[in-house]
Amino acid sequence: MKSTYDEDKQKWRFWPIICLSFLYPINNALIGLAIPLYYFKQGVPIQIIGLLAASITMTYCFSPILFNRFSDRIGRKKSIGIALLGTSLAQLIFYFTLEPSIFFIARLIEGLVMGLYWANLQATISENANHNPNKYIAKFNFAWNSGVLSGFLLGALILFRIDDLTIIFYIAPILVFIGLIITILFFREAHPNNLKMLELDESNLISNLDTKTKNREILGFYIPLVLPILFVVAFSFQKSSLNLLYSIKSELLGFDTYTVYLLAFFSLTTQLFSTSLSSYLSIKTLKRISIVCIIVLIIINFLFAINSNFLIFVALFFIMGFFAGIIYSFGLKLSILLNTKHNTSRYSSICESSMGLTFLVIPIMSAYIASINIDYGFFAISFGFVLFLIVSLIFLKKLKS
């Protein structure tokens, strides 16, 4: 007779999570870079562009926490379905108008319903942590990074052939519709509370994980909550500020529009590699590497400010993607381990809201700084990572096995 754990593993499908983690980032990558490029060309003030870039996060910064108990009650499939249906309706507006005020409202709606999306995808992984958590975290990281990577490449190819940014806003919503169909037809719930069952017999947990090290990572580490928040915020800080600032600096330097997507694609190639690889590294190893990553990003952002050579920008994007990816992977791993240890989705929701708040505040701040001098924005990012370095050194000492 098959065990309950084997039955759960058969009933639970992971591939729809991979598809959903892949498709929405393509959509987000296409639109995220199109916003500053399109509205800058339309003559919209930089401060307003900052608001438009941050609009989705004005509601997303609190929606994952707001909907946490609601999504636990209605289940993962319904939560993700509601998120994609709401996003589909919001993005239908793009086909009728891209007028800034209406676009702003559509993105507010999208940010609100997406509070039901990422936290529930991550919670599904933590609810099945006995089925080899590192493998699933690695695949999840690979999927969403591949999605962003594909979005940037698709944007570069489209704009290389058709120099009209409005087509980006017409293509992107199709990916959300596909995700909604996959959710309705194929997504399956994880079967309940493997971890509560496993707590009755710790030896079962050890036998269901690949190694004793994985068991110790889940049960033995003391993880300060501030650490996963710190690292996902640092990642968001880097990506949200750079996407806005470099897009504008590229226009000021006279680079072709499609190259903004191309360089973002280069960055994601190394980010994809580093997030997938670091998912398999131990907490102790990531603890040491994270400090190096932050120091490198301090230097990289300073170089973004003083450089105007395109080939050097290419190299900087490659390097930045690699080290930013490790920081995010570390934060994600810590939040999922906290979920698993405490049998909840709360920590994913907190981290997602923290990322949302960062994507809200930083583009607005960067836009105001850039309106004075674009390079001051890059100096501000570099200084921000100095602060991240100081805080991380304090709290990493408390991360103990």
Q: What is the spatial distance between Cα 213 and Cα 139, in angstroms, rounded to a whole number?
A: 19
Judge contact between 236 and 360, C-beta under 8 A. no
pLDDT per position as a tens digit, 89-104: 999 999 999 999 999 9
Say yes or no to pLDDT of 207 above 50.
no
The pLDDT tens digits of the residues spanning 324-358 come to 999 988 888 888 788 777 776 677 778 878 887 88
pTM reported for the whole predicted model: 0.72
pLDDT-wise least confident of 14-28, 30-44, 334-348: 334-348
CB atoms within 10 A of CB 221: 16
Are 297 and 188 in contact, with CB atoms under 8 Å apart?
Answer: no
pLDDT for residue 154 is more than 70: yes
Among 10-14, 25-29, 43-47, 370-374, name the one with the lowest average pLDDT. 10-14
Residue 210's pLDDT band, with cuts at 50, 70 and 90, is: very low
For residue 14, which phi and psi values (nearest 5 degrees)?
Answer: -95, -25
Q: What is the pLDDT of residue 345?
A: 66
Interval 360-364 mean pLDDT: 85
Residue type for 297, please? L
Task: Return the C-alpha torsion angle 300, 305, 309, 311, nearest 10.
Answer: 20
Query: Is domain 13-396 classified as CATH 3.40.50.2000?
Result: no
Q: Which two tokens stand for residue 264?
A: 């973002």
Burial zone of 273 (CB within 10 Å; 0-12 exposed, 13-18 middle, 19+ buried)? middle
Long-range contacts of 35-44 (CB under 8 A, 24+ apart): 36/243, 36/244, 36/247, 36/248, 37/165, 37/247, 37/251, 37/257, 37/260, 38/98, 38/165, 38/166, 38/168, 38/169, 39/100, 40/247, 40/248, 40/251, 41/165, 41/251, 44/100
Nearest Cα to Cα of residue 148 among 274, 235, 27? 27
| Backbone angle region of 193, left / alpha / beta, with phi > 0 → left and psi within -120 to 50 → alpha | left
| 124-150 pLDDT tens trace | 776 765 556 667 877 887 888 889 889
* CA–CA dist 117, 25 (Å, integer): 12
Nearest by Cα to 332 from 79, 134, 196? 134
- Counting residues of the chain whose pLDDT is more than 70, the rounded percentage is 86
Give residue-wise pLDDT tens across range 184-204. 998 887 555 444 443 333 334
pLDDT in tens, 253-275: 999 888 998 998 899 889 888 88
Query: Does the pLDDT of residue 250 top 60, yes or no?
Result: yes
What is the pLDDT, as a whole number, of residue 2? 45
Contact 401, 220 (CB under 8 A): yes
Identify the pLDDT of residue 344.
67
Assigned token pair, 389? 């370095």
Given a cut of 80, whether residue 16 has pLDDT beyond it is yes
What is the chain's mean pLDDT, rounded?
Answer: 83
Q: Domain extents for the chain?
A: 13-396
CA atoms of 104 and 209, how far apart (whole Å): 46
CA 347/CA 382 separation, integer angstroms: 28
Q: Residue 199 has what pLDDT? A: 39
Computed from CA positions of residues 299, 305, 307, 310, in that sequence, does the dihedral angle turn out positive or negative? positive
